Amino acid sequence: MRTLVDIPDPLLGELAALGESLRQSRAALIRAAITEYLAAHRRTAARDAFGLWGSAAADGLAYQEKSRAEW
């Protein structure tokens, strides 16, 4: 798939220099960068659920006992 992306001139210059030194096309470098970015930010179900309570984390056993006391 082809797409349009606006890239600032200073970054294009750096990208061109990197492409020359690595002997790779600009498109190949951009694909590699996107692949790395997505891999670093990929979500999994376990990762989404971990730390669900955030800063209000409670002791699991205390939470269970409190919930059962409500029955």
25 is in which domain, residue-wise?
9-69
The label of the residue with tokens 């409190």 reads 66
**Structure confidence by residue, pLDDT tens digits, 21-55:** 999 999 999 999 999 998 888 776 666 565 666 66
Domain-located, residue 3? no
Domain-located, residue 37? yes
**Structure confidence by residue, pLDDT tens digits, 55-67:** 666 677 887 888 8
- How many structural domains compose the chain? 1
In eight-state DSSP terms, residue 10 is: H
Domain-located, residue 33? yes
- For residue 38, how many C-alpha atoms fall within 13 Å in the half-sphere facing its CB? 6
Q: What is d(CA 66, CA 15) in angstroms, rounded to the nearest whole number?
A: 57
pLDDT band for position 12 (cuts 50, 70, 90): very high
- Give the model's pLDDT for residue 62: 83
Question: Of 2, 33, 3, which is closest to residue 15 (Cα–Cα)?
Answer: 33
